[in-house]
Amino acid sequence: MLRSTLTDTGQTTIPAKVRKALKLKPRQRLIYEIHDDGVLLKPETETLADLYGSLKSSVPAASAKVERNTARTKRVNRHS
C-alpha cells in the first residue's frame, strides 16, 4: 500500500510508483472522480493545444502574410 501525507494547505506528493504507473509528467493536470467507495485519480488527456511547441524544426516559420498567400495559391490551383 502506498501512502502520502496531506499538508495544512491541502497539498500532497504523489508517490513515485503512482507517477510512473500513470506516466505523469511535471505540471500535468489530473482528474479526480469521486465515487462512494473512494476517489479515482487519472491524468487529464492531452489536447492538440497541449502539444503546441513540442516539435522542433530547423525551418523558420513563415510570416502570416506568406502563409495567407500560400494558402490562396494552393486553393486557386486546387480549383483549376
* Residue 3 CB contacts under 8 Å (≥ 6 apart), including other chains: 15
**pLDDT tier for residue 80 given thresholds of 50, 70 and 90:** low
Q: Has residue 15 got a pLDDT over 90?
A: yes
d(CA 31, CA 60) in angstroms, rounded, equals: 37
Mean pLDDT of the chain: 88
Kind and range of the H or E run holding 76: helix 64-78
What's the maximum distance between 2 C-alpha atoms anywhere in the chain?
A: 68
Domains of the chain: 1-51 (2.10.260.10)
